[in-house]
Structure formats: C-alpha cells, structure tokens
C-alpha cells in the first residue's frame, strides 16, 4: 500500500457523522436571530446568474402569441421599457469621474513630476512577494553563557537555508545565524531571538534582520509564538532596494513561509502611532 | 448547493438559511472533523462557521462560488478553534503516547495511531490540504481553487505534509528496533 492509498484508507476509517444535525442547526439559529448580516461592498453589484435562453426547439407550455398588426402596420414600442436610473450605475459613474479626474490632476510630464501637492517624488508601487524558507539539515553552535534564569546564546548557525520566492530577487542560498536570550519562566524557556540572514543569488543579495519570540520545554526545542518580522536591505545588484515580510513557522514543519513587499528605495517609514488619549 | 437558497439568504431570509444550514452541516462537519480530529471541536467549528456564513453571506458576490467560499470560512474557524484549546497538542508535546509500533508489523490499528499522531504534528494549512485531497478526494487543482491558493503552494504543502507523516512512521519504527535491541541485550 503506498502513501496515498494509506492516507485515503485512514481518512475513511476515522470519519464520523455529526451527532445531531437538527440540534446543531438549532444552536446556530439562536445566534443567527441575534446577528445582523454585514453589508456588501458597494458599488459592486451582486452577480446573478443569467436565466437560460430558450432555444427555438424548446417546447413550452404557453408559447408567446404574435402581436397582431393593425392595418398591415407593425406596432412599434416608443420610449424605454426600463428606468434608466440605478444606484449602482450612479455610484460607479461617480467613482469613474473622480478616479479619472484624480489621475488627470496628478499625471504630469516627466520633467514636472513631483510638483503636484501631496504627490511623493519617487512613489513606486511595491511588489508583493511570497515564498518558502527551506531549513538547513543541521546547525552548529551556539556559544552559551548561563546567567541565573537567563541563558545567552550566540553564533547559532543553521546554514545553508534555501529561500524560494515568487519574486526571484528574494530567492537564493542563505547564511542564517541568530542570537538568543532564553528566559526560564515556570519551567519553560521563553526565547527572545534576533536573526541575521544573508541571501545570495546570481544577480545580487540581501542582508536581513528579524526578531521573534519562541517557547519550549528545553533549549533548542522551542516553537515560534507568532510570526517573525523581517527587514531586508538590498546588496550588490539589489542595491537601493528594501524588503519587509513576516514569516510563519508551522508546528512540526521543516520550512517557513513568508509574505511581504519589496520596495524600490528605502523602506517607507512606519505610519505615525495614534495619539495617546 | 441550491443557488436560489443562497440568494434568499443574501436577502436576509432566515428560514432559507436554516434550510441551507441543515443541508450543509454534514459537509462542513466532515471537513472540520477531518482537520481537527475531534468530534466536539468539529461540532463547535461547524456551528461557528455557519454563523459566520450567515453574517458574511451578503459579501459573497457569486452564489455559484458558495461551496469554496464556505470552506474558506470554515478553515479560518478551524484555525481559531485549534488555538483556543489550551491542551491542543503542539509539535513538542506529542511524545509517543504508547509503546512505539513498527510500521507494518503490527497491522492496521498501530498504523492508525501512528498516522493520527503524525497528522496532529502538522500545521493547520497542511492538515487542510491533506483533508481535502484524501478525505474529499479532490485533485490538487481543485484544492487550489477551493482554498484560493496557487497550485504550486498546494503541491508543496501536500508534499511536505506527506513527508512529515512518513517521517513520524519511520521514527516510530526506528524506536521499536532500538527497544528490541535493548531487550535482547538484557536477555
């Protein structure tokens, strides 16, 4: 039996039926009666499937009767049979007018760019990137010093990693190193981690730093407490680029996934935090 | 699924939603149980997903896409349901629950336990693709469409999940061999 057959058989064996569908739905309905439906996003209209158009050969119970002509004249319907106004059309038209107007207001010849109030000089849309980080098969290090309930670790080296990204600029072989401060709390280690990743491919490279929190019963056996935030600065052929992404470590997996943005130029500053009070 | 029923629910018809929920409950429960592996959790996830379906139904633009859309809502609920459980097994907590068994030597029951433990070590993403692929019998392309993921992601998740489960079985088999060797030395 191969893996696929074994999995199919196993899924089939462990399958159970719900205990009581009616009771479950009754519970759902008690919530539904108290829950308002969220509105749909305007001005996008709901999609309605078109009614099938009967073909000439279809038989129908009440076939349409011909409109009788008067004195040999064919009757003509004058005027519209449907109202012209619809809220969706009005909103769409308004959006188009403002959209086109906005573009015409901002768009300028190349030699005058940047002079429009509020238009950033080098605003280029960032590129969305997703990818996977394949881990190294083994690690070396770390150097360790225990200081009471804190264990400092450094020179942890788990290289080479392989990054495979939707944008080839962030793909390549990676030297991955990190330092940890592991705090022993209630018999478990909470680890504050700072990582350095040096990515190299044929066209250039990146230097990336990340921070993250991990937890586990033993040192070296921790799992991520959440996604890690990573900042990258382009090197060599990617000089002048920057990237930012979050990476998630699925429990039990042997790789990480990431999603983020590549910017032309420095990473834009973070938005201002909301005012206190 | 009856598209008229979906349209009526979009218009706020609670009676239509009740009919839709009765028809859809087993389908959603089947997947929730496949992913979570626990009847009570699966019941909770199914019910929560149905409430979410009611709440967000007006945002579904194409009633024909209801099937996949409802699965995607269920996936999010399964994530939340698993996170809410304090005793939910993480990869590090799942030591061997019983004496390790050989992969093929001890028959189907041992195999089932090992597969269950291997499955529980997987992330929710990996469990979901395995469930859709092997419980519902979908092709990888159908899984990709259902979960709104690129095909390559589905293929890589399927491969990684199968590999991880195989690794658990092989590790158990190695442990058994070592245990037997130790026993023979003692004798």
**Other beta carbons less than 10 A from residue A57's beta carbon:** 5
pLDDT for residue A34 is more than 90 = no
**Percent of chain A's residues with pLDDT above 70:** 74
Q: Is the ipTM of this complex over 0.85?
A: no
Mutate to test the interface with B, among A24, A41, A166 (most CBs of B within 10 A): A24
CB within 8 Å of chain B, chain A residues 111-150: 130, 132
pLDDT in tens, A81-138: 666 777 788 888 899 999 888 887 776 555 555 544 544 445 568 999 999 988 877 7
Question: Encoding tokens for residue A223?
Answer: 């799992």
Q: Is A30 on the interface with B (CB under 8 A)?
A: no
pLDDT for residue A54 is more than 90 = no
Alpha-carbon distance of B47 to B28, in angstroms, equals 9
Of A80 and A168, the one with more pLDDT: A168
Q: Is A7 on the interface with B (CB under 8 A)?
A: yes
From B37, B50, B162, residue closest to A3, measured CB to CB: B162
**Percent of chain B's residues with pLDDT above 90:** 18
What mean pLDDT value characterizes chain A? 79
For B134, which DSSP code? I
Question: Encoding tokens for residue B49?
Answer: 């997903």
pLDDT for residue A140 is more than 50 = yes
pLDDT for residue A267 is more than 70 = yes
- Long-range contacts, stretch B179-185, CB < 8 angstroms, 24+ apart: B179/B99, B179/B100
What pLDDT score was predicted for residue A258? 92
Lowest-pLDDT range, A69-83, A205-219, B131-145? A69-83
Cα A240–A243–A246 angle (5° rounding)? 170
pLDDT in tens, B105-129: 334 545 677 788 888 878 888 888 8
From B25, B30, B54, residue closest to A15, measured CB to CB: B30
Residue tagged 């403002």 (tokens): A98
pLDDT in tens, B67-94: 888 988 898 888 887 777 655 544 333 3
What pLDDT score was predicted for residue B30? 92
Q: Are A155 and A175 in contact (CB under 8 A)?
A: no
pLDDT in tens, A192-240: 999 999 999 999 999 999 988 888 877 777 778 888 889 999 998 898 8
Of B2 and A163, the one with more pLDDT: A163
Question: Encoding tokens for residue A203?
Answer: 């066209």
Task: Decide if B116 and A14 are in contact by the 8 Å CB cutoff.
Answer: yes
Which of B132, B131, B139 is closest to B115 using CA atoms?
B131
């Amino acid at each position: 039996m191969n893996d696929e057959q074994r999995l199919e058989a196993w899924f089939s064996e462990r399958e159970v039926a719900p205990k009581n569908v009616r009771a479950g739905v009754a519970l759902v309905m008690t919530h539904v009666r108290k829950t308002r439906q969220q509105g749909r996003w305007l001005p996008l209209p709901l999609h309605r499937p078109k009614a099938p158009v009967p073909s000439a050969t279809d038989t129908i119970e009440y076939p349409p009767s011909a409109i009788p002509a008067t004195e040999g004249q064919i009757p003509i319907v004058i005027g519209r049979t449907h109202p012209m106004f619809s809220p969706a059309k009005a909103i769409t038209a308004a959006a188009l007018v403002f959209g086109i107007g906005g573009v015409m207001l901002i768009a300028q010849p190349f030699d005058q760019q940047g002079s429009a109030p509020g238009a950033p000089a080098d605003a280029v849309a960032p590129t969305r990137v997703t990818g996977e980080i394949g881990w190294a098969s083994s690690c070396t290090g770390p150097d360790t010093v225990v200081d009471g309930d804190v264990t400092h670790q450094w020179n942890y080296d788990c290289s080479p990693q392989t990054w495979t990204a939707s944008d080839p600029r962030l793909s390549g072989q990676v030297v991955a190193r990190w330092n940890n401060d592991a705090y022993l709390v209630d018999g478990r280690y909470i680890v504050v981690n700072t990582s350095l990743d040096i990515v190299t491919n044929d066209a250039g490279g990146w230097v990336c730093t990340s921070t993250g929190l991990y937890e586990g019963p033993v040192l070296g056996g921790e799992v991520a407490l959440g996604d890690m935030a990573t900042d990258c600065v382009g090197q060599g052929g990617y000089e002048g680029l920057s990237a930012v992404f979050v990476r998630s470590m699925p429990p039990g997996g042997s790789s990480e996934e990431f999603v983020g943005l590549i910017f032309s130029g420095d990473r834009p500053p973070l938005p201002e935090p909301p005012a206190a009070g | 699924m009856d598209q008229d029923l979906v349209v009526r629910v979009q218009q706020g018809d609670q009676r239509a939603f009740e009919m839709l929920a009765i028809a859809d409950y087993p389908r959603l429960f089947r997947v929730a149980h496949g992913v979570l592996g626990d009847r009570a959790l699966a019941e909770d996830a199914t019910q929560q997903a149905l409430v979410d379906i009611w709440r967000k139904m007006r945002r579904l633009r194409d009633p024909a896409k209801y099937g996949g859309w409802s699965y995607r809502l269920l996936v999010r609920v399964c994530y939340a349901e698993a996170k809410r459980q304090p005793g939910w097994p993480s990869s590090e907590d799942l030591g061997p629950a019983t004496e390790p068994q050989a992969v093929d030597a001890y028959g189907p029951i041992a195999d089932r336990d090992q597969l269950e433990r291997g499955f529980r070590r997987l992330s929710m993403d990996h469990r979901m693709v395995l469930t859709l692929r092997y419980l519902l019998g979908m092709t990888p392309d159908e899984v990709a469409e259902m979960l709104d993921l690129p095909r390559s992601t589905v293929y890589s998740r399927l491969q990684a999940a199968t590999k991880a489960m195989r690794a658990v079985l092989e590790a158990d088999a190695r442990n058994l061999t070592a245990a037997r060797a130790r026993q023979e030395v003692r004798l």
